[in-house]
Amino acid sequence: MIPQIPLKYRDAERWSFGDTESSADELAKRVIAGTKTATCSNLDDDPEPEPGEVFVVVDGRNNPVCAVQLTEVKQVPFDQVTEQHAWEEGEGDRTLAYWRKEHQRFFEEYEMFEPTMPLLLMKFRMIEKF
């Protein structure tokens, strides 16, 4: 059975992590487990999210998994992301080397990678599991 999004989260933006169905499933599990407490994105024309905003995390089939609340948002160039942030993103072996390799691959697929490209680094906490 697909979990229902509680009414209070119906208007929240949905987030999935990773770029495949299986990676979205795995990373959603890591959010639930408390291993993944951060993410990043490229800067675009959308308004920058702010601490306190709530998002619904979905799995690889767009099924709601949990709600998270942003606790910190900051702009940092790709080449200045820290080992600590890589650890908090909770992906792969959680090292900065793994983080750089995978994120460079991801951004290159969309032809937007630059070593100094500005990223939005976001920390969050899970507030409700569905």
CATH for 111: 3.10.400.10
The three-state secondary structure class of 41 is strand
Averaged pLDDT, 100-109: 95
Q: Would residue 21 count as lying in a domain?
A: yes
What are the pLDDT digits (tens) for 2-16? 668 889 999 999 999
pLDDT of residue 1: 61
In a domain, 1, yes or no: no
Residue 28 is part of which domain span?
Answer: 7-129
Q: Confirm whether 72 is domain-assigned.
A: yes
Q: Which two tokens stand for residue 45?
A: 């024309």
Provide the pLDDT for residue 16. 95
Under the banding of pLDDT at 50, 70 and 90, the label for residue 78 is very high
The answer to whether residue 106 sits within a structural domain is yes
How high is the pLDDT of residue 55? Answer: 97
The domain tally of the chain equals: 1
Closest CA to 24 of 68, 62, 64, 59: 59
User: What is the overall mean pLDDT for the chain?
Assistant: 95
In a domain, 69, yes or no: yes
Determine the distance from the C-alpha atom of residue 15 to the mean position of all C-alpha atoms in its chain, rounded to a whole number.
Answer: 7
Residue 103 CB-density burial (10 A; 0-12 exposed, 13-18 middle, 19+ buried): buried
pLDDT at 2: 62
Q: What is the token pair recorded at 38?
A: 């951060």
pLDDT the model gives residue 3: 66
Domain presence at residue 117? yes
Q: Is 28 a domain residue?
A: yes
Q: What's the predicted TM-score (pTM) here?
A: 0.92
Of the candidates 63, 54, 58, 62, the one whose C-alpha atom is nearest the C-alpha of residue 126 is 54
**DSSP letter (8 states) at residue 19:** S
- 26 within a domain of the structure (yes/no): yes
Q: Where are the alpha helices (DSSP H) in the chain?
A: 21-33, 83-89, 96-109
